[in-house]
């Protein structure tokens, strides 16, 4: 059958699989999920030397096929053809770190025992050379009977040789005797026998660059200084640099709105387009620059290997509440978005640790909250004051960190322990950042954000516009019209419940609406306030909100209310997608429902406390 061949890419974590995957597939890749588990499925297509297409699947990193985590289970299952959703690969490309042959061959020998055509890639040969390691690839090839390709995937060195190996009509199967049972020591003995005479190690005792960097970056004093500096720099960048593209986007949407208004008579459809669609979607898209900056920083830290050091330094703080340093990366990623963060917990071996991490992940202030935070902070503090604003934002993030710890501690105490677990964190060598990879990831994340804006947010904006417009009242007064609408009535209905928190019914409408997705709060406010007037620019929403008054004449969005709203948003669980992912990862509805209840309940209490207590200090 002239079907396209399916190659599987396997290897230990941190071996450069992603780099090689990108090199072979370019932009022709697709990220999805394995049904039933939240393990990321990465597939792509490439072309071989004959111009034929082949499919490539990047399997999760694994240390051995005796799976000890969901990631490894998937890799093992796919290689054995045991997953209904993924066909068994036709051939395997096994990636090995040339600096550490023995350990990487542990997995490789298990893979070869599958009896599939295999290509062995010795990656990072440059690093090996720096350590004085040379490998006789040809000898290995003879012994194994399969191609052994030395490569530097990030510099694209060795790609031609790999392409040759990929393009063979009848790729060879490995000459390797299967071993029975799990005898680790015995397997290593066979590996050493295999590698005998093929590896030459110079007597290099000098400090590697990684050592030199680690001396500073993991220094008891400087390490923290640098880490805090990086995080502070990140926030300052989000506030200053991002304002330029934000202004452009704002202007662009404003212009678009004007064009529509000029070409249509006033009416419902025009209102739907300008306030509902442009106002709603635009109000969220404007935060794309900041979200990209966040993803960029995290991607850079991960790419260079620094992120593992951060886990290393933070582990002690995490284990105090029953989390491991491995939870740090998922939780840190959750600061961009809890969905990939929760999915990243699949590398955690302990089911209990994973559960706790998943339960607290929504407390991390994800990027969807950023639009809400920024809008409320802008309302709270006058124009300018970038430092003050940055401080408030930092304070919010600090509050979320406290919340994560506090709840992790609680869960650690209350959930039953299932026995001791081991944490092993591998610290890869530093590598200079591959800008290409970081940017590709950024592109992918940006596309996903845009897709979500184009679909979920667009849909919700349209529906919200409808809820705030219909049923229509006879009055000309915009405020009365809003009160008459379905959304207005819902907001008024919950007003008694939210009044002690300092909210009015319009905010109530925003709160209710944003339970599907947080950033919808911004769109809703946009619609509510834009709908009251015919003009339509980003800043006027803010101005209007600033002018909004309560029954007694005081500003509606005063400092106390804004603080209370901010605190509410720090904790409340307002994301249907996160509920869905939690359900998938924990395989039950119990935990996602629990998340919604405990988080929203606590948010209410915390916001209540904030509003009431601040009454003693502020007007």
Whole-number minimum distance, CB 217 to another protein, in Å?
A: 11
C-alpha closest to that of 58 among 7, 107, 96, 118: 7
Cβ at position 84, least distance to another protein in Å:
9
Within a 13 Å sphere around the CA of 611, how many CA atoms are in the beta-carbon half? 20
Which CB sits closer to another protein, 243 or 577? 577
Instruction: Give the nearer residue to another protein in terms of CB position, either 290 or 526.
Output: 290
| Token duo for residue 89 | 């690969």
Peptide bond into 114 cis (omega under 30): no
Contacts of 447 (CB under 8 A, 6+ apart): none
Q: In the bound complex, what is the minimum distance in angstroms from residue 227's beta carbon to another protein?
A: 10
CA-CA distance, 119 to 146, in Å (whole number)? Answer: 6
Nearer to another protein, 332 or 337 (CB): 337
Burial class (CB in 10 A: 0-12, 13-18, 19+), 358: buried
CB-wise, 2 or 265, nearer to another protein? 265
Q: Are 23 and 108 in contact (CB under 8 A)?
A: no
Please state, in angstroms and rounded to a whole number, the distance separating the CA atoms of residues 282 and 274: 10
Q: Which is nearer to another protein, 291 or 556 (CB)?
A: 291
Positive or negative, the CA dihedral 313, 314, 319, 324 is: negative
Nearer Cβ to another protein (175/219):
219
Q: What is the DSSP string of 555-582?
A: BTT-HHHHHHHHHHHHH---BHHHHHHH
State in angstroms the smallest separation of the CB of 300 from another protein.
Answer: 17
CB of 277 to another protein, least distance (A): 9
Give whichever of 519 and 548 is closer to another protein, judged by the CB atom.
519
Element (H, E) at 376: helix 369-380
Instruction: Give 38-46 contacts, CB < 8 A, sequence gap 24+.
Output: 38/342, 38/343, 38/346, 38/581, 38/584, 38/585, 39/70, 39/71, 39/74, 39/343, 39/346, 40/343, 41/86, 45/4, 46/166
Q: What is the closest distance, in whole angstroms, from the C-beta atom of residue 169 to another protein in the complex? A: 31
Residue number, 473 or 539, with CB nearest to another protein: 473
Residues 6+ away with beta carbon under 8 Å from 253: 278, 282, 285, 286, 538
Nearest-approach distance from CB 76 to another protein, in angstroms = 13
Q: Which CB sits closer to another protein, 417 or 549?
A: 417
């Amino acid at each position: 059958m002239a079907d396209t061949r399916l190659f599987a890419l396997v290897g230990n974590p941190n071996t450069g699989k992603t780099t090689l995957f990108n090199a072979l597939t370019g932009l022709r890749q697709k990220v999805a999920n394995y049904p039933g588990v939240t393990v990321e499925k990465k597939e792509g297509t490439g072309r071989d030397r004959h111009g034929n297409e082949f499919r490539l699947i990047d399997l999760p990193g694994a240390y051995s096929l005796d799976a000890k985590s969901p990631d490894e289970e998937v890799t093992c299952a796919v290689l054995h053809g045991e997953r209904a959703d993924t066909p068994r690969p036709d051939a395997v490309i096994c990636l090995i770190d040339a600096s550490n042959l023995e350990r990487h061959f542990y997995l490789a020998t298990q893979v070869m025992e599958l009896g599939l055509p295999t290509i062995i890639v010795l990656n990072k040969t440059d690093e090996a050379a720096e350590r004085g390691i040379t490998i006789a690839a040809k000898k290995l090839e003879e012994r194994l009977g399969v191609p052994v390709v030395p490569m530097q995937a990030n510099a694209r060195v060795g790609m031609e040789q790999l392409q040759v190996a990929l393009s063979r009509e009848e790729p060879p199967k490995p000459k390797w005797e299967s071993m029975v049972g799990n005898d680790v020591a015995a397997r290593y003995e066979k590996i050493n026998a295999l590698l005998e005479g093929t590896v030459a190690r110079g007597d290099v005792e000098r400090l590697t660059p990684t050592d030199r960097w680690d001396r500073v970056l993991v220094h008891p004093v400087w390490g923290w200084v640098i880490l805090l500096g990086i995080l502070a720099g990140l926030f300052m960048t989000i506030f200053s640099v991002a304002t330029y593209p934000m202004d452009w986007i704002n202007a662009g949407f404003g212009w678009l709105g004007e064009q529509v208004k000029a070409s249509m008579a006033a009416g419902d459809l025009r209102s739907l387009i300008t306030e509902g669609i442009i106002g709603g979607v635009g109000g969220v898209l404007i935060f794309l620059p900041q979200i990209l900056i966040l993803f960029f920083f995290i991607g850079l830290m991960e790419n260079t290997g620094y992120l593992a050091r951060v886990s290393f330094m933070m582990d002690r703080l995490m284990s105090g509440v029953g989390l491991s340093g491995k939870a740090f990366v998922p939780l840190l990623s959750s600061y961009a978005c809890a969905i990939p963060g929760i999915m990243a917990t699949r590398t955690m071996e302990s089911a209990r640790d994973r559960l706790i991490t998943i339960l607290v992940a929504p407390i991390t202030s994800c990027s969807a909250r950023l639009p809400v935070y920024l809008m409320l902070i802008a309302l709270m503090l006058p124009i300018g004051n970038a430092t003050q604003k940055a401080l408030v934002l930092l304070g919010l993030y600090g509050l979320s960190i406290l919340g994560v710890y506090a709840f992790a501690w609680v869960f650690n105490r209350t959930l039953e322990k299932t026995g001791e677990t081991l944490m092993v964190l591998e610290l890869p060598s530093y590598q200079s950042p591959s800008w290409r990879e970081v940017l590709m990831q950024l592109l992918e994340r940006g596309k996903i954000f845009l897709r979500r804006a184009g679909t979920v947010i667009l849909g919700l904006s349209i529906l919200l516009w409808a809820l705030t417009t219909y049923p229509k009242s006879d009055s000309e007064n915009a405020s009365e019209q809003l009160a008459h609408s379905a959304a207005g009535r819902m907001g008024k209905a919950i007003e008694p419940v939210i009044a002690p928190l300092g909210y009015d019914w319009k905010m109530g409408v925003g709160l209710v609406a944003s339970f599907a997705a947080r950033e919808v709060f911004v769109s809703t406010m946009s619609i509510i306030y834009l709908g009251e007037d015919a003009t339509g620019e980003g800043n006027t929403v803010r101005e209007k909100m600033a002018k909004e008054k309560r029954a007694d004449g005081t500003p509606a969005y005063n400092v106390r209310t804004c603080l209370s709203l901010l605190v509410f948003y720090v904790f409340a669980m307002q994301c249907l997608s996160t509920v869905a992912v939690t359900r998938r990862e924990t395989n039950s509805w119990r935990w996602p429902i629990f998340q919604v209840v405990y988080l929203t309940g606590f948010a209410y209490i915390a916001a209540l406390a904030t509003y009431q207590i601040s009454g003693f200090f502020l007007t």
